[in-house]
């Protein structure tokens, strides 16, 4: 997989969906679920992919993803997960036994040791989409498509895209517009909790969940 090889038609498809998700987050999540589903659906024959998972173990996020995938997809279920984890735990137990106390502790004591293969798969996929969007936004038709879609690039991915754009004004303006809309919806939702407000709840009641997906992890002051 190389960076920057996403087709323009694929980028355009990301803007044709009628929800408020971040197109990059969705594309990355879909790719990761598709990869994992195909590995788990035929675990015994997907030797190479299984080996990638086994070698790096699983971070907390991806342990959760595997569980929810196994639960939601009836043709996967618990069996391949049990088989994968059986082998993974055998290996990890051996690694525990073979490691000198100090060496093991030093190597694994970092909070983000990042050996989970799915994490690196997602990082790589994410970068491919960021590069694809950066290059697509040079063209008016893609800028217009993003202006017209309800989808909103999340804060973290906005930071990544901004860092790669040469002309940032358009992107800052459209993001401001989209996030103002989001803030207005949150405001409506909050104000409807006032007992004097008799208006019934509408679509704005969905926006605290949407906002949770779009809010990033960046440092701000004041």
Q: Where do contacts with Zn ion occur on this chain (CB under 5 A)?
A: 22, 24-25, 59, 62, 116, 118-119, 154, 157
Q: To the nearest whole angstrom, how small is the minimum distance from the Cβ of residue 190 to Zn ion?
A: 24
How far apart (Å, rounded) are the C-alpha atoms in residues 77 and 40? 9
- Beta carbon nearer to Zn ion, 18 or 74: 18
Q: Using an 8 Å Cβ cutoff, are 27 and 14 in contact?
A: yes
Q: To the nearest whole angstrom, how small is the minimum distance from the Cβ of residue 90 to Zn ion?
A: 20
- Beta carbon nearer to Zn ion, 12 or 119: 119
- Beta carbon nearer to Zn ion, 22 or 76: 22
Q: To the nearest whole angstrom, how small is the minimum distance from the Cβ of residue 12 to Zn ion?
A: 18
Tokens 């992107």, located at residue: 171
How far apart (Å, rounded) are the C-alpha atoms in residues 26 and 18? 13
Q: To the nearest whole angstrom, how small is the minimum distance from the Cβ of residue 200 to Zn ion?
A: 32
How far apart (Å, rounded) are the C-alpha atoms in residues 153 and 156? 8
- Beta carbon nearer to Zn ion, 165 or 192: 165
- Beta carbon nearer to Zn ion, 113 or 168: 113
Listed residue (16, 214, 12) closest to 129, CA to CA: 12
Q: Which residues have a Cβ under 8 Å from the Cβ of 192 and sit 6 or more positions away?
A: 199, 201, 204, 205
């Amino acid at each position: 997989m190389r960076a920057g090889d996403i087709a323009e038609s694929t980028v355009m498809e990301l803007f044709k969906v009628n929800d408020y998700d971040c197109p990059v987050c969705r594309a990355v999540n879909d790719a990761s679920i598709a990869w994992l589903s195909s590995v788990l659906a035929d675990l015994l024959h997907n030797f190479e992919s299984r080996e990638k998972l086994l070698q790096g173990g699983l971070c907390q996020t991806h342990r959760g993803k595997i569980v929810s995938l196994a639960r939601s997809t009836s043709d996967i279920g618990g069996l391949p997960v049990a088989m994968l984890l059986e082998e993974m735990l055998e290996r990890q137990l051996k690694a525990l036994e073979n490691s000198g106390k100090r060496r093991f502790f030093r190597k694994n004591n970092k909070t983000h040791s990042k050996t989970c293969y799915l994490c690196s798969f997602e990082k790589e996929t994410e970068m491919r989409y960021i590069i694809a969007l950066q290059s697509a936004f040079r063209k008016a038709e893609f800028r217009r498509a993003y202006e017209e879609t309800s989808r909103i690039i999340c804060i973290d991915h906005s930071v990544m895209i901004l860092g790669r754009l040469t002309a940032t004004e358009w992107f800052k303006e459209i993001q401001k517009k989209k996030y103002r809309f989001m803030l207005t919806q949150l405001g409506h939702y909050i104000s409807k909790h006032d007992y004097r407000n008799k208006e019934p709840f509408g679509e704005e009641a969905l926006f605290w969940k949407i906002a949770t997906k779009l809010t990033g992890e960046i440092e701000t002051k004041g």
